[in-house]
Amino acid sequence: MNRIDENRPFVPVGIAVLTVSDTRSMEEDRSGATLVERLEKAGHTLIDRAIVKDDIPAIQEKVKAWSRQEDVDVIITTGGTGFTGRDVTPDALEPLFEKTMDGFSAIFHRISYEKIGTSTIQSRATGGVMNATYVFCLPGSPGACKDAWDGILGLQLDYRHMPCNFVEIMPRLDEHLKRGKG
């Protein structure tokens, strides 16, 4: 099913990591650190890393700015995907998605269910595309970040992954914008 075609070159992508938290500092941010470790080990480029409060305008401002940067291909957020009053990451970002990636949430929950059972239902992990940039919203735990990277993102962000991957369609993510001009 999943395989790496060694005849294809590895293509590094630029990734920004955003931790959404009212309480974490960069030193205490194990989830963000987990993502950075994995993406760099895979050979991708960390473009930026930041922490913002659980605040819709702050989350939107940071993600919008990164999505407009030419060198950012992927934005991964961690935190704020639960159901408490301060968990607002999906609420902030889903309205900005031009396309929602329902399959990301479904596969994330399948992987998570195998590890934590029905507790996975407490996450609103989601993904989508905005400004020709992939955006993934993950829970704020290192385990969830590992599961999402190891089970989905690490594979889909590898150009060698077959039968298909996110990298090979990156040049076409904004073609709907161009279509209206032609």
Closest CA to 88 of 35, 22, 15: 22
Contact 142, 34 (CB under 8 A): yes
The predicted pLDDT at position 181 comes to 41
Domains of the chain in sequence order: 11-170 (3.40.980.10)
Residues 6+ away with beta carbon under 8 Å from 31: 19, 78, 79, 138, 139, 140, 141, 142, 144, 145
pLDDT in tens, 8-65: 999 999 999 999 999 999 999 999 999 999 999 999 999 999 999 999 999 999 999 9
pLDDT of residue 177: 65
Give 90-109 pLDDT, tens digit per residue.
Answer: 999 999 999 999 999 999 99
Residue for token pair 């659980």: 54
Amino acid 147: pLDDT: 97
Residue 159 to residues 3, 25, 28, 72, 132: CA-CA distances in angstroms?
11, 33, 32, 16, 17
C-alpha separations of 107 from 91, 112, 148, 155, 161 in Å: 20, 8, 9, 13, 17
Kindly tell me if the per-residue pLDDT of 178 is higher than 80. Answer: no
pLDDT, tens digit (0-9, with 9 covering 90-100), for 135-167: 999 999 999 999 999 999 999 999 999 999 999
